[in-house]
Structure 1
């Protein structure tokens, strides 16, 4: 059942690191089942937005709500735990434990953070490996996998928390070109399944194809927010046009 209100609501958030203001009043709402891509130049605040949504970074000012969680009011890791169940994040660097197999990497958080039964978690983890087309790699260690395969294990690990939302932070940026395609295919299938996704990406063709909306950020602000056909083919703001002229 769809919610009558947005699943994610961000209102006028500000975030500084020392004297440098990274976010200067970002507002965004994302509906359940929606895929939103965030594009923009390096240093424009894209990744910071994701880290604020899942509570990895505290905001200086503003409001963030995910479902029933008022993220800006959560202080301790214990208070964050229900949010971690609802919102998973996949990073540019896979951050897999090298001494644990693909299967063990996927099983850790549901057992340790959520307290789920090992047998049930293992069954779920094996199904998730099949979902990301790595069913035959359950017993492989990260060092035995390609970068693209490691990133797909990281996606399966995020899915193991049974989240309502997944945040993808430039997940193909560290990959060889030939392995990017398999990771993007995995993400595309999650979007097609109706999982709510926010994706920071440099892959413009992918953003055009999978996103319901694309946000262009620059200098800590969302400059333009529109369906992909509108934003890519008929950008309204001069800064959006300039950026797309350089990357397309």
Structure 2
């Protein structure tokens, strides 16, 4: 599969390999995302999708290949990982909220402790973000008092409060019931519509069709097919892509 060529990619992976022990997970992977683009990565479980996001955010070091995000060489031995993560937010399937902190405190902690920003400024932004994710009135609640969908929206607000340039979403709806899936996906669509560069690993094919500008289909650690959401879903070219979509659509 030929790789995507962008004149000025905001995120670019070239020839990336990663193995855990003797198990290869990424095998010469190429991927590119433009600024303000919404890219979805789809494919069967175990194909390496989540590992791609972790490599972009330097949570998982690559074995070989090149990873560049917003002009930062992520694969460099001299990488300042903290500086990268100020610019690249990630939201996981698990909400990872502090259970002994209120919703507002969860959202405010990192900008104050990591970025050293003024508490009053951060609190104003945090309250505005909680309103954006439709959680006004829940500022003083604790995570255990919220539904799964509400906790996931807190996690999104917390990541946005770091004012990132890129948002990565790793199967953020996998543990949610259908009603709360819609709540979370609508928030992500609003974020994307405002121009945030977003990369999502998702099993929500309808969302990928509607919200993505570009889609990558992965299988066995490789990109099998890529293209615009319309082209890939309407007329997939590879037999593996067609077989996968036949199962999930």
TM-score, normalization by structure 1:
0.96
| Distance (Å, rounded) in 2 between the aligned partners of 1:99 and 1:4 | 47
1:186-205 equivalences under 5 Å are 186-205=187-206
> How far apart, CA to CA, are the structure 2 residues paired with 1:106 and 1:180?
21
Distance (whole Å) between structure 1 residues aligned to residue 230 and residue 166 of structure 2: 24
**2:241 is the counterpart of 1:240:** yes
Are 1:66 and 2:86 an aligned pair? Answer: no
Structure 1 counterpart SS, 2:203: coil
* 1:168-183 superposed matches below 5 A: 168-183=169-184
Question: Are 1:74 and 1:80, in contact at CA under 8 Å, matched by a contact in 2?
Answer: no
What per-residue deviation string (whole Å, max 9, x for no partner) do you get for residues 134-190 of structure 1?
A: 011100100110000000000000100100000000000011111111000000101
What are the residue-to-residue correspondences of 1:23-34 with 2, within 5 Å? Answer: 23-34=26-37
For structure 1, list consecutive stretches of 5 or more residues without a partner in the other structure.
none
- Partner secondary structure for residue 9 of structure 2: coil
Distance 1:139 1:238 in 2: 51
**Tell me, what secondary structure is at the counterpart of 1:21?**
strand
Equivalence for 1:48: 51
CA RMSD for the aligned pairs? 1.2
Are 2:30 and 1:39 aligned? no
2:94 maps to which residue? 93
Shift of 1:74: 4.6
Partner of 1:147: 148
Rounded to whole Å, the distance in 2 between the matches of 1:187 and 1:173 is: 14
Query: Number of paired residues?
Result: 244
2:9 corresponds, among 6, 9, 31, to 6
The aligned residue for residue 22 of structure 1 is 25
Structure 1 residue ranges, 4+ long, deviating more than 3 angstroms after superposition: none
Q: Write the distance in 1 (CA, Å) between the matches of 2:179 and 2:12.
A: 36
> 2:49, 2:196 → 1: CA distance?
20
Shift of 1:82: 1.2
Match of residue 166 from structure 1: 167
Q: Which residue of 2 aligns with 1:121?
A: 122
Q: Distance in 1 between matches of 2:224 and 2:177?
A: 31
- TM-score, normalization: structure 2? 0.96
